[in-house]
Structure 1
Amino acid sequence: MSAEYIDAAAVLAGDFHPPVPTRGGKRSDGLHLLYPASVNGLVGDPETGKTLIASACAADELYQGGSVLWLDLDHNGPSATLTRFRRYGIPVDVLTDPARFRLAIPEDAPTLLAIIADAATWRPTVSVLDSVGEMLPMFGASSNSADEYTAVNQQTLVKLARLGSAVLGLDHMAKGTDFRAYGAGGTVAKKRAIDGAYLRVTTEGGFAKGIGGRADLSIIKDRHGALREASGPGREPRLAVFSLEDREGAQHWTFDIPAMQANAADDFDALLAQVLAMEPRPSGYRAIKTALGVRDELAQRLNRALRDSAPTAPTAPGAHPVQSPMHRTHCTPPLGGGAGAGAGAPVLEGVES
């Protein structure tokens, strides 16, 4: 039978197994974040660290012996991109080995297509495109047209995925409140076209030069279900907490398991008791969210329960009760370990989206 047809006998015999994530960033329990031979996506607002997170995924792949194609359509520049990987501890001999790493900054559609065609000669295990929003104008395509996006996606990201690469496309969040749940701005076809993992990046404090920062990765879409299975219930469960810290000139990062699964509200009373036992007790839902590592909805519910159960102190006429200041409890994940220790790397000088 021709290769164009699915071998139904093999599937029904149990010889076919759904894809599992085996590429890119590696969570502290060993779970990878990207599916091979698939188009994965990373979406977030500006300054949430998307490029830093994608770089960590690429660096983890290089540390594990894989190969990376980095397509810089955002014009971060060769110096900034290569310096970032050096800060992450990737050796010079890896970055200069064309069998392991290639960086390209295409200026037009024909150049991008030529680079993708050339990828068939060396088959990178991870391909990062930063960003999808910059790619569409190269082809004269509109971000709001499903048909135009689908056509460009088939020529670019899908072709890389068919080479076996775990493709990671970076994109910006939609601006309208009603559309943010779908992910990136523009047509909803962007979400539909994802056949791997579609991850949302959120952060409260952003990333500061010379310091680092933290960001949450949650699952918007998981076509094959392996990441959701490891992340608990809920419409958009948290997958990992990305932490980056500059320590003595070296960049250390981790993809940690969230301290408490984001939507694990099945034992609400236990969570409430945990908050009541904290000293000092978190004040406000943001402090509760930070302390427990839960999502906004659960943190707000816990905060309401605390407020409703708090005794009301009698006050003199005209007097106002004193409000205690907000206390934030930060749970700092362990540093080092794994691939995220870039020994001897220079300090972080800039923050990218």
Structure 2
Amino acid sequence: MSDGITLGELNERMTPEEARAWLRWHPQVVMQAWAELPGPAKQQSLDVQTELRRRWVRGAADELEREAQEPEAVDRPDLFADLDALITEGGDDGPERSCGERTDGERLFYRGQVNTLTGDPESGKTWIALVCLAWALADGERCSFIDMDHNGWAATVQRLRGLGVPETVLKDRNVFRYVEPEDADHLTAVVGSLVAWQPDSVLVDSIGELLPLLGKSSNLDDDYTEAHGLVLKPLAQAGACVIAIDHLAKNSASRAQGATGAVAKRRAVGGVALRVVCTQKFAPGRGGRALMTVIKDRHGQVRQVSLPQQKGEDLAGTFVLTLEGDSLMARIDAPTATASLTDVERLGQLDIPPTSVRDVKARMGWGHSRASEALRDWKRLRDDE
């Protein structure tokens, strides 16, 4: 051996520091040291020395592994939030609600956050979002519509013009930007452009089409998280009020949570998630009506101004669209202390649609006449749709 240390001398090195130094030698060096012991001594101490060597190796290896995993013990105050400066500059009351103004002046969607509208097909989700864009454009804000649900530019322009948006505004790409992404590369480029442009509001319709366009599965948490990070989150971080439209799941367990697919969808909502329940079918020439209830509100500002329901989610507002001459008139009625849902609206909120009068009586606690009348009217509404 180059340093002349024998295994006999190693036996006396029992401190962790000596064991670590010993372990760092190549195993062949240890065997050479063992070979240097006289024959009789080697035979007499073979069992003892072998067990001792095993213990040294095992103990030193465990300690080295712990050292490798443990962070360096250096105090770094700069890694933590400077609460002194933050508190001195003033408290944070939460993000601004900038879109979806109700008749009482309260707004339903948060700026700089991802908000969602979730509901069954033809429940009025896109109408609500387009009205929000129309109001924002009327206030001089910049808006964009990422249309992946094939609404089409012609139908979109017709609806926005009907809501009072001037054609000159729709033609001006410095004010309004519409796009139907062709593929994932096109969509990625669109997001990058919007982040640089910094619009005030962005409508994404819909998440159900977004995931396949990116080659992702609607039922995998990791896939949704990645899609959210590629498209929705950057737009929100750029300061936009993002309104993303999604569909309710078909099975009852998922419907109670909101959107179809991954649980990550609800977890990723940084603003408010509203459920849309149609109570009057939206159709050309007659408008429509829908309830909006709170599924999730991360900051609590919308829920605070919503009306708690005895059974179901808090009522955030009632969207009403009417036709007056050639113009569409829209409003979001604020719930009041005296407001209450009709029986038909309550049936529309059920996660599992009612099947019979007996079913309604059991689930709602109503008498036969009330249950029968409500179910009849609810079925009539569904048939009209």
Distance 1:72 1:30 in 2: 29
Aligned to 1:238: 315
Asked which structure has the greater RCO (Cα within 8 Å, sep 6+), the reply is 1
1:252 aligns with 2:310: no
Secondary structure at 2:117's aligned position in 1?
strand
- Matching of residues 212-227 of structure 1 within 5 Å: 212-227=287-302
Stretches of 4+ aligned residues off by more than 3 angstroms:
3-7, 10-14, 232-235, 259-264, 294-297, 303-309, 323-328
Distance 1:81 1:42 in 2: 18
Aligned to 2:344: 286
1:46 aligns with 2:121: yes
1:169 CA drift (Å): 0.6
Are the counterparts in 2 of residues 237 and 263 from structure 1 also a CA contact under 8 Å?
Answer: no
Percent identity over the alignment? 37
1:204 CA drift (Å): 2.9
> What's the CA shift string for 1:252-304, capped at 9, x where partnerless?
0100013557789xxxxxxxxxxxxxxxxx9xx438x69xxx9779x979x85
Distance 1:72 1:150 in 2: 20
1:18 CA drift (Å): 3.4
Distance 1:5 1:219, change over 3 A: same
1:25 CA drift (Å): 1.4
Distance 1:99 1:108, change over 3 A: same
Q: 1:119 is matched by which residue type in structure 2?
A: L
Q: 2:237 is matched by which residue type in structure 1?
A: R
Secondary structure at 1:255's aligned position in 2?
strand
1:123 aligns with 2:181: no
1:178 aligns with 2:236: no
1:94 aligns with 2:152: no
Are the counterparts in 2 of residues 67 and 125 from structure 1 also a CA contact under 8 Å?
Answer: yes
1:326 CA drift (Å): 9.7
Are the counterparts in 2 of residues 39 and 157 from structure 1 also a CA contact under 8 Å?
Answer: yes
Aligned to 2:32: none
2:110 to 28, 35, 38: 35
Structure-1-length-normalised TM-score? 0.74
Distance 1:21 1:199, change over 3 A: farther
1:24 CA drift (Å): 1.9
1:13 CA drift (Å): 4.0
Are the counterparts in 2 of residues 219 and 237 from structure 1 also a CA contact under 8 Å?
Answer: yes
Are the counterparts in 2 of residues 19 and 35 from structure 1 also a CA contact under 8 Å?
Answer: no
1:154 CA drift (Å): 0.5
Structure-2-length-normalised TM-score? 0.68
Are the counterparts in 2 of residues 237 and 262 from structure 1 also a CA contact under 8 Å?
Answer: no
Distance 2:324 2:369 in 1: 43
Distance 1:253 1:325, change over 3 A: closer
Distance 1:56 1:42, change over 3 A: same
Distance 1:205 1:21, change over 3 A: same
1:99 CA drift (Å): 2.2
Distance 1:115 1:73, change over 3 A: same
- Matching of residues 1-353 of structure 1 within 5 Å: 6-13=81-88, 15-233=90-308, 236-260=313-337, 285-286=343-344
Q: 1:105 is matched by which residue type in structure 2?
A: E
Distance 1:4 1:152 in 2: 29
> What's the CA shift string for 1:298-320, capped at 9, x where partnerless?
x979x8577799xxxxxxxxxxx
Are the counterparts in 2 of residues 10 and 16 from structure 1 also a CA contact under 8 Å?
Answer: no
Are the counterparts in 2 of residues 40 and 167 from structure 1 also a CA contact under 8 Å?
Answer: yes
Return the index of the structure with the highest Cα Rg: 2
Distance 1:326 1:38, change over 3 A: closer
Are the counterparts in 2 of residues 263 and 295 from structure 1 also a CA contact under 8 Å?
Answer: no
Q: Which 5+ residue runs of structure 1 have no aligned equivalent?
A: 265-281, 310-322, 329-352
1:107 CA drift (Å): 1.1
Distance 1:177 1:326 in 2: 19
Question: Please, what is the CA RMSD of the aligned residues?
Answer: 3.4
1:112 CA drift (Å): 0.8
Secondary structure at 1:204's aligned position in 2?
strand
Are the counterparts in 2 of residues 36 and 166 from structure 1 also a CA contact under 8 Å?
Answer: yes
Residue-pair matches, total = 292
Distance 1:308 1:84, change over 3 A: closer
Distance 1:10 1:96, change over 3 A: farther
Secondary structure at 2:218's aligned position in 1?
coil
1:134 CA drift (Å): 0.4
Are the counterparts in 1 of residues 361 and 367 from structure 2 also a CA contact under 8 Å?
Answer: no
Distance 1:167 1:325, change over 3 A: closer
Distance 1:177 1:261, change over 3 A: farther
Q: 1:36 is matched by which residue type in structure 2?
A: R
Distance 1:9 1:300, change over 3 A: farther
